[in-house]
Amino acid sequence: MRHVITAEALMDRKLLDRLFALAQKMEKMGKRNKLHTALRGKILATIFYEPSTRTRLSFEAGMIKLGGGVISVENAVQASSASKGESLEDAIRVVSSFADVIVLRHPESGAAKAAAEISWVPVINAGDGSGEHPTQALYDLYTIHKEHNTLDTLHIALVGDLLNGRTVHSLLQFLPLYRKVQLSLVAPKKLQLPKRYVDYLKQKGVNFEQVTQLVPVLKKLDVLYMTRIQKERFRSPKEYEAIKNVYVLDERSLLTMKKDAVIMHPLPRVQEIAVTVDRDPRAAYFRQAENGLYARMALLHWILKGF
């Protein structure tokens, strides 16, 4: 069974290349309005205990485009039997007898792993607290691959809430698969990358720096990956307010960046990228979001039917 709980599940350059190729095929067929029937008769269940727009809708749209069906609990804390006290494990045990694959988002780190242990069908982690978000990383990599034609020899900055940002935690694990990647980790002192990921990068021999200032690194970058300060992970609103606008990318910052740099963001954006940046051709975050649909179609296809 192909569960996708952490980056580890996709940690194979050949597998990623095949998923990228399939995603590209999905995009081409989608643009020609060709109907897919590959997953006809299959059911995807999306169970979200935390808010989402892109992740849930792109999985659902992708499943429908592949000819499958969707059952969904959007606000599982209130709208499911969780409000009556049902455990995640019981919910998963039952839903896994209705569906062929489950996409789960949950506020607790480790929840997806626990769900996979009791599920009859593959579980895809769509975010477990501050843990991981491996399918976001999949389409982040796909986007870099599309924009730069390669993932080798790039200088990448991961910026913002590196402590709590699960998209960053998943994405950085893939970087050692690629040749001569240079990494700038840009975060305020209080929101630095958890030690286990720093140790991972060291152990894998990745060339990285940890800095607190964004402006001095901008000119070196091929990929700027901005993230939102994860408000919901803060215990005190005051602490969040004090730090929320620590990095703001505006039109002026663009002047120093390379002409072919790519600006990414998993979205939702709050203030960290000014809307005036959107019209710059280097702003790739909306293209990135669209890539999410095709990459997730490829992933669903691989999980349920292989290549």
Residue closest to 128 by CA, chosen among 167, 160, 91, 163? 167
- Give the Cβ contact number of residue 212 at 10 Å: 13
133 binds ligand NCD (CB under 6 A): yes
Cβ atoms of 235 and 178 within 8 Å: the answer is: no
Please select the residue that binds ligand NCD; options are 145, 166, 169, 301, rule is CB under 6 A. Answer: 166
26 binds ligand NCD (CB under 6 A): no
134 binds ligand NCD (CB under 6 A): no
Burial class (CB in 10 A: 0-12, 13-18, 19+), 88: buried
Using the rule CB under 6 A, give the single segment among 83-91, 209-217, 265-273, 299-307 that binds ligand NCD.
265-273
> What is the layout of strands, in order, in the sheet containing 182-186?
207-211, 182-186, 155-159, 223-226, 262-264
105 classed as catalytic: yes
55 classed as catalytic: yes
**Nearest distance from C-beta of residue 167 to ligand NCD, angstroms:** 5
Residue closest to 132 by CA, chosen among 165, 159, 104, 102? 165
Q: Which of 3, 36, 42, 54 is catalytic?
A: 54
- The two structure tokens encoding residue 195: 């030690």
Nearer to ligand NCD, 36 or 297 (CB): 297
- Give the Cβ contact number of residue 263 at 10 Å: 24
Size of the site for ligand NCD (CB under 6 A): 12
Q: Tell me the helices (H) and strands (E) count for the chain, helix number first.
A: 12, 9
Using the rule CB under 6 A, give the single segment among 70-78, 79-87, 182-190, 263-271 that binds ligand NCD.
263-271
Q: Which of 31, 84, 195, 235 is catalytic?
A: 84
122 binds ligand NCD (CB under 6 A): no
Using the rule CB under 6 A, give the single segment among 27-35, 87-95, 96-104, 266-274 that binds ligand NCD.
266-274
Which one-letter DSSP state was computed for residue 75?
A: S
Catalytic residue numbers read: 54-55, 84, 105, 133
Residues that bind ligand NCD (CB under 6 A): 54-55, 127, 133, 136, 166-167, 227-228, 266-268
